[in-house]
Structure 1
Amino acid sequence: MNAQNLVFSRHAIQQMFLRRISKKEVDSVVAYGEVIEENPEDTPFPSYLLLDFVDGKPIHVVFSYDESTDTGYVVTAYIPDPNLWRNNFRSRR
């Protein structure tokens, strides 16, 4: 997913800091990641769970997108727990 403007929520920034996930890594997931879940009915904008492997590390990013302004919102980012995910972190157990 690409967005002209990318906005990080306060929650996302806090969690990225705690989880040692860099903005560069999140930017990479948003630009090149695979959409593994879609929530088109989420409000105020549709949201997506993205997955990418950055330097071999799996990263999930919850991303919301406002098509009218071409703005993406990073809601949170985390390293998926292998005990909760299967199929190479693409589906929940």
Structure 2
Amino acid sequence: MGTEPLGRISTDEILAVLDAGEIIEEYPEDVPYSSCLIFGYARQQRPLHIVCAPVLDEGRLIIITVYQPDPTRWEADWRRRKLR
């Protein structure tokens, strides 16, 4: 995983966001699996976005990317993209 300004994103942070986060965007046309964007707060109220693809028939979740959202691209609530 890449280094973020506040340090590396830990597995515990990812699991916490997956457990308590909310789906803010869905990408049903993604291939080979539909995916979604999950938003949640990790430790110290650090906002994180997780793009993942649930593979329900196999009972697994593919994590595509995890990142700390860029405030120049996201509204202050981290749930909505800024209009360009």
| Equivalent position to 1:78, from 63, 67, 82 | 67
28, 33, 37: which one aligns with 2:25: 37
CA distance in 1, matches of 2:65, 2:48: 11
Percent of matched pairs sharing the same residue: 35
- Per-residue deviation, 1:87: 4.6
Q: Which has the higher contact order (CA 8 A, sep 6+)?
A: 1
Is 2:42 the counterpart of 1:62? Answer: no
Which structure 1 residue ranges, 4+ long, deviate > 2 Å from structure 2?
none
- How many Å separate the matches in 1 of 2:17 and 2:33? 19
TM-score, normalising length from structure 1?
Answer: 0.78
Measured in 2, the distance between the counterparts of 1:86 and 1:69 equals 35
Whether 1:53 and 2:41 are equivalent positions in the alignment is: yes
TM-score by length of 2: 0.86
Local SS of the residue matching 1:28: helix
Are 1:91 and 2:83 matched, yes or no? no
**Offset at 1:21?**
0.3
Distance 1:32 1:46 in 2: 21
Unaligned runs of 5+ in 2: none
The alignment partner of 1:65 has SS state of: strand
